[in-house]
Amino acid sequence: MSLTSEDADPSEQRAVARPAAANAQPSRVTFNRLELHRILNLYGRMVADGEWRDYAIDFLKDRAVFSVYRRASEVPIYRIEKDPRLARKQGMYSVISATGLILRRGHELERVLLVIDRKLAVV
């Protein structure tokens, strides 16, 4: 007695297909949980100060972009980008201004965000 495709257990078919999917490259670049946590903490502080009002997240094929807006109808004042192709070169994280000027680029997100993260100074 042989099993045809109609008689096969569907869970066995999924188990066979799973390892192939694990080896496949992701179709999009995304921020992981820790990166989003750090970016959204900064965003929340700036919203509380009244400087930022809106944001957008784009997960593209080659990079992930977190755009920050002063108003929803304007161009983004800052773009925080993650580009894995630059990981071994200049660093995959960068902060880009509204004019397209790269303010800082590096391997660690914390250090890159310091360019726009103004902390209160005790006088």
Q: Which amino acid is at 62?
A: D
Tokens of 73: 């109808």
pTM given for the model: 0.70
Cα 32 to its chain centre, rounded Å, is 7
Question: Please, what sign has the CA dihedral across residues 111, 103, 34, 44?
Answer: positive
- pLDDT per residue, tens digit, the chain (123 aa), is 555 555 555 555 555 555 555 555 558 888 889 999 999 999 998 888 888 888 889 888 988 999 999 876 778 889 999 988 888 888 889 999 988 889 999 999 888 988 888 665 455
